[in-house]
Copies of this chain bind each other. A is one copy, B any other.
């Protein structure tokens, strides 16, 4: 059994804790959080112990550390864990500051760190199947990509100022997805946004709606659509337009039940909560981390992927600010 320490006892920490506990090769040993009640609740559910950071990192039996704390601490905790020789499972984003993230890269390298950056959507079975078929070439070479990524409802206003803004907080998933599917680094970003959902978000200096176009050197184009509130649930779709056809991954409904009445056929609502929609993805990424620990698998998503997605998000912010494309 690979012994794991979890840093962060919030919503996403609880998910990771349960997936650690359910995995045959992993054992949750420590939970670390300044909110000791939250840490204790998770620890007691899974037979783990509440610890402080030094205690956990100092325990030589700990081989992996999950960083699920607040965004501004991702980088530091990951560095600490890497310095202690632990494999790191770090929640996205790696940081909100591109320069800081770039600067830290050599330190990770110097530790010989094995860091998995947990972009969960890469582990969604549908998106994964789409990528597989794309690369198997069934519909020819990829030309353009549409990613729709609309949240059911905006976060509490209090979160906006610490979120890093829509591009770094929300669209960063889509920038990672774009890189993963395009198979080529975007060299140009044009982004435009608006505050259409909640004026409070605008007052706080952020936007809630955005459309972004990425362009690669070979002319591949990717459109990303973001909204903080859909009005119809969690909308997570991808369309890949290729030389001989197209691939699409759609939304997931709660059940397969349809109601037919005189006004038409009503399908069930979409799985609405990201922890439901991506439950399989969270399990799969933990299984990947277990593979890293037990079989030495290389991380499917690394530090450099976190930096690259952050670079795109930063470029999108800059593009919107300047009202012009930004070249990378």
Contacts and interface: CB of A to CB of B under 8 A. Distances in A.
A56 to B, nearest CB: 25
A241 B252 contact: no
Interface string A242-253: 111111111111
A269 to B, nearest CB: 4
B227 A241 contact: yes
Interface stretch (A30-38, A70-78, A157-165, A191-199): A191-199
Contacts of A227: 143-144, 241
Contact of A261 (B209, B244, B268, B325): B244
Given A190-B213, A223-B225, A256-B251, A261 B323 contact: no
A110 interface: no
Contacts of A215: 192, 194
Interface residues of A, number: 71
Contact of A250 (B150, B244, B258): B258
Interface of A: 22, 24, 45, 125-126, 129-130, 133, 138-140, 143-144, 146, 148, 150, 188, 190, 192, 194-197, 209, 211, 213, 215, 219-221, 223, 225, 227, 230-233, 235, 241-270, 323-325
Contacts of A266: 263-267
Contact of A260 (B130, B209, B248, B262): B248
Give the 9 A-B CB pairs with smallest separation, nearest first. Answer: A194-B219, A232-B260, A245-B261, A126-B255, A250-B256, A246-B260, A231-B245, A129-B255, A126-B256
B232 A246 contact: yes
A261 B138 CA distance: 10
Contacts of A211: 144, 213, 221, 223
A221 B244 contact: no
A138 B259 CA distance: 9
Contacts of A241: 150, 225, 227, 230-231
A52 to B, nearest CB: 27
Contacts of A324: 324-325
27 contacts: A129-B257, A138-B259, A139-B231, A139-B261, A140-B231, A143-B197, A146-B148, A190-B192, A192-B221, A195-B219, A197-B243, A209-B219, A209-B221, A211-B213, A223-B223, A230-B245, A231-B261, A232-B245, A245-B259, A245-B260, A246-B259, A246-B260, A247-B259, A252-B256, A253-B265, A264-B267, A324-B325
